[in-house]
């Protein structure tokens, strides 16, 4: 089943390349996304044994990320049918192929137990997403694409150096050089501390740049701002989670090493708080509402890093927040994509009174803002509350206090942008287009909103158990 989940999107990409009709090609996306989602549910229920060499295995951490990615892709695939029907002025062949190839690579990331294979899969997601950012084919989108490629490629090269250092640490310890997670965890206490320390630094910087944590986030505002909404949703909820899974693998090794995890936790705490602080500064009075969402993503990768740095009780919150952030970003990016197309602008000076023109999309954007800022009854409130309460329980009052302060500033900053955007009357000189709310462009983000609302008031037992198993894996000591 796992092989089928990786290969199915590649077959879909081939079909998308063959289909000549620009109107029929987007239908390949949901045609692949539905069986992929069903395969994901089957994999969660009946996990196959590890591959003969142990390179492929879907552990609880991989399952959580795969569930988020597959759910988000299904929603985006349905949305794409409605969105691309409006954008028939340009070919969607590269977009459809790239989305499906990226889904295959992201699925492989979740199942990789060999760090070299994981690195290849993460790099593949970078390459397959690049042409999708250039979909609008203008000067700003090509600039965003190059910046994304350049910074992520440098980051991923640094991660490769970190992997080399990790492999060399096993040689120095007179063991066979390997990048398989199981043997590394088993021998982590015997590895050379100096090389291990260096490998952690390079991998944190490398995968951190892919994740977009500050100060390695500079590609995000341009890429998120210029990419179509559905691509932005998959960048924020798919690729970020893949990079975070790579960070989780490094975290597991640091825990197993015994002495290095305190350094790694402090580094995560520091970078996480810097990310939240930077997002708080740049989100206030943001002139481009899609760039505002990019800084919101910087904030939430910061929250994930802080939770991982706190450890213990915050680990459950981190894994739950990984899921919540991905799904909520889907609501925000898909609804913001509708608003962008209707006004043909992303400027907050031009886009005003969106509720009057797009009542469903603007309402979803407003609800998404409430959810992503950690307000009840949505699920991000539950995960953020569990993280900050863990900080106070563990006596980390400064961390907890800064966490709450940044959340409050970010709430005010986003409200100053979002409320004028959706309320009031559209400017008389605002461009009028024929883009309006339609079932296929409103239904998918509405379904996501219903999901995060449900998770905010009721957590299904299988998901609760899966999150608990994932958190326990991060606490495990070999």
Model confidence band, residue 170 (pLDDT cutoffs 50, 70, 90): confident
pLDDT digits over 219-231, tens only? 888 898 889 999 9
Model confidence band, residue 471 (pLDDT cutoffs 50, 70, 90): very high
Closest CA to 243 of 272, 203, 296: 203
Residue 128 has a pLDDT of 92
Residue 171 has a pLDDT of 84
Can you give the length of the chain in residues? 478
375-403 mean pLDDT: 94
User: For the chain, first and last CA: distance in Å?
Assistant: 29
Model confidence band, residue 366 (pLDDT cutoffs 50, 70, 90): very high
Q: Over 60: is that where the pLDDT of 360 sits?
A: yes
Answer yes or no: is 391 within a domain: yes
CA distance 226 to 290: 8
Evaluate whether 75 touches 444 at the Cβ level (below 8 Å): yes
- If one counts every other C-beta atom within 10 angstroms of the C-beta of residue 350, the result is 15
CA distance 387 to 145: 34
- If one counts every other C-beta atom within 10 angstroms of the C-beta of residue 348, the result is 18
CA distance 56 to 54: 6
Answer yes or no: is 289 within a domain: yes
Answer yes or no: is 128 within a domain: no
Residue 175 has a pLDDT of 78
CA distance 276 to 274: 5
Answer yes or no: is 405 within a domain: yes
Please state whether 174 falls in left (phi above 0), alpha (psi between -120 and 50) or beta: left
Model confidence band, residue 296 (pLDDT cutoffs 50, 70, 90): very high
Answer yes or no: is 366 within a domain: yes
Evaluate whether 351 touches 341 at the Cβ level (below 8 Å): no
- State percent of the chain over pLDDT 90: 60
How many structural domains is the chain composed of? 1
pLDDT digits over 257-280, tens only? 877 778 888 899 999 999 999 999
Answer yes or no: is 123 within a domain: no
Model confidence band, residue 326 (pLDDT cutoffs 50, 70, 90): very high
370-385 mean pLDDT: 94
Residue 136 has a pLDDT of 83
Residue 364 has a pLDDT of 96
Model confidence band, residue 197 (pLDDT cutoffs 50, 70, 90): confident
472-477 mean pLDDT: 74
Residue 443 has a pLDDT of 94
Closest CA to 431 of 357, 334, 328: 357
**One-letter-per-residue 3-state SS of the chain:** CHHHHHHHHHHHHHHHHHCCCCCCHHHHHHHHHHHHHHHHHHHHHCCCCCCCCCCECCCHHHHHHHHHHHHHHHHHHHHHHHHHHHCCCCCCHHHHHHHHHHHHHHHHHHHECEHHHHHHHHHHHHHHHHHHHCCCCCHHHHHHHHHHHHHHHHHHHHHHHHHHHHHHHHHHCCCCCCCEHHHHHHHHHHCCHHHHHHHHHHHHHHHHHHHCCCCCCCCHHHHHHHCCHHHHHHHHHHHHHHHHHHHHHHHHHHHHHCCCHHHHHHHHHHHHHHHHHHHHHHHCCCCEHHHHHHHHHHHHHHHHHHHHHHCCCHHHHHHHHHHHHHHHHHHHHHHHHHHHHHHCCCECCCCCCHHHHCHHHHHHHHHHHHHHCCCCCCHHHHHHHHHHHHHHHCCCHHHHHHHHHHHHHHHHHHHHHHHHHHCCCCCCCCCCCCCCCCHHHHHHHHHHHHHHHHHHHCCCHHHHHHHHHHHHHHHCCC
Q: Over 70: is that where the pLDDT of 476 sits?
A: no
* 431 exposure class (CB count in 10 Å sphere: 0-12, 13-18, 19+): exposed
Q: Over 90: is that where the pLDDT of 210 sits?
A: no
Comparing 427 with 133, the larger pLDDT belongs to: 133
pLDDT digits over 135-145, tens only? 888 888 898 99
Model confidence band, residue 478 (pLDDT cutoffs 50, 70, 90): very low
60-89 mean pLDDT: 93
Residue 174 has a pLDDT of 78
Evaluate whether 364 touches 331 at the Cβ level (below 8 Å): yes
Residue 59 has a pLDDT of 92
User: Residue 259 corresponds to which tokens in the numbers above?
Assistant: 């002495």
Residue 398 has a pLDDT of 94
Model confidence band, residue 186 (pLDDT cutoffs 50, 70, 90): confident
Residue 424 has a pLDDT of 80
CA dist 419 to 355, 423, 425, 477, Å? 10, 6, 12, 48
User: Residue 2 corresponds to which tokens in the numbers above?
Assistant: 């796992």
344-363 mean pLDDT: 90
Residue 25 has a pLDDT of 93
Residue 156 has a pLDDT of 85
Residue 173 has a pLDDT of 77
Residue linked to tokens 């999309």: 361
Largest distance between two CA atoms of the chain: 74
pLDDT digits over 102-133, tens only? 999 999 999 999 999 999 999 999 899 989 99
Answer yes or no: is 328 within a domain: yes
465-478 mean pLDDT: 81
User: Residue 74 corresponds to which tokens in the numbers above?
Assistant: 């299904």
Is the bond into 377 cis (omega within 30 degrees of 0)? yes
CA distance 70 to 426: 37
CA dist 180 to 118, 155, 176, 201, Å? 10, 22, 11, 19
Answer yes or no: is 195 within a domain: no
Residue 436 has a pLDDT of 85
Beta bridge partners of 56: 112
- State percent of the chain over pLDDT 70: 99
Q: Give the domain range for residue 353.
A: 269-477
CA distance 36 to 50: 20
Question: In the predicted model, what is the mean pLDDT of the chain?
Answer: 90
Residue 365 has a pLDDT of 95
């Amino acid at each position: 089943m796992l092989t089928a989940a990786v290969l199915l999107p590649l077959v879909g990409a081939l079909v998308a390349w063959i289909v000549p009709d620009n109107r029929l090609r987007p239908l390949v996306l949901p045609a692949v996304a539905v069986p992929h989602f069903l395969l994901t549910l089957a994999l969660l229920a009946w996990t196959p044994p590890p591959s003969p060499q142990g390179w492929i295995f879907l552990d609880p951490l991989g399952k959580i990320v795969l569930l988020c990615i597959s759910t988000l892709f299904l929603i985006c695939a349905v949305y794409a049918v409605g969105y691309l029907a409006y954008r028939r002025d340009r070919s969607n062949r590269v977009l459809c192929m790239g989305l499906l190839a990226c889904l295959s690579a992201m699925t492989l990331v979740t199942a990789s137990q060999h760090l070299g294979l994981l690195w290849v899969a993460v790099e593949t997601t970078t390459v397959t997403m690049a042409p999708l950012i250039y979909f609008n084919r203008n000067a700003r989108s090509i600039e965003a694409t190059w910046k994304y490629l350049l910074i992520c490629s440098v980051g991923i090269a640094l991660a490769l150096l970190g992997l080399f250092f990790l492999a060399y640490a096993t040689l120095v310890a007179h063991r066979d050089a390997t990048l398989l997670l199981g043997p590394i965890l088993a021998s982590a206490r015997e590895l050379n501390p100096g090389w291990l320390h260096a490998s952690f630094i390079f991998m944190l910087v490398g995968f951190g740049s892919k994740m977009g944590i500050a100060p390695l986030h500079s590609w995000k505002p341009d890429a998120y701002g210029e990419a179509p909404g559905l691509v932005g949703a998959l960048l924020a909820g798919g690729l970020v989670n893949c990079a975070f899974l790579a960070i989780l693998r490094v975290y597991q090794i640091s825990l197993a090493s015994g002495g290095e995890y305190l350094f790694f936790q402090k580094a995560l705490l520091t970078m996480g708080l810097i990310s939240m602080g930077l997002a708080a500064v740049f989100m206030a009075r943001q002139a481009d509402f899609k760039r505002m969402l990019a800084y919101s993503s910087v904030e939430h990768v910061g929250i994930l890093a802080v939770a991982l740095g706190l450890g213990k009780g915050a680990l459950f919150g981190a894994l739950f927040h990984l899921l919540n952030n991905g799904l909520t970003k889907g609501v925000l990016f898909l609804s913001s994509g509708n608003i962008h197309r209707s006004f043909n602008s992303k400027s907050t000076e031009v886009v005003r009174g969106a509720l009057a023109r797009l009542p469903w999309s603007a309402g979803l954007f407003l609800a998404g803002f409430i959810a992503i800022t950690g307000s009840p009854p949505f699920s991000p409130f539950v995960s953020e509350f569990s993280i900050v309460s863990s900080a106070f329980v563990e006596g980390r009052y400064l961390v907890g206090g800064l966490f709450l302060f940044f959340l409050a500033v970010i709430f005010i900053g986003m409200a100053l942008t979002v409320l004028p955007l959706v309320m009031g009357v559209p400017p008389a000189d605002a461009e009028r287009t024929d883009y309006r709310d339609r079932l296929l462009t409103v239904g998918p983000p509405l379904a996501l909103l219903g999901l995060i609302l449900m998770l905010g008031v009721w957590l299904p037992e299988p998901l609760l158990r899966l999150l608990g198993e994932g958190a326990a894996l991060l606490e495990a000591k070999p």
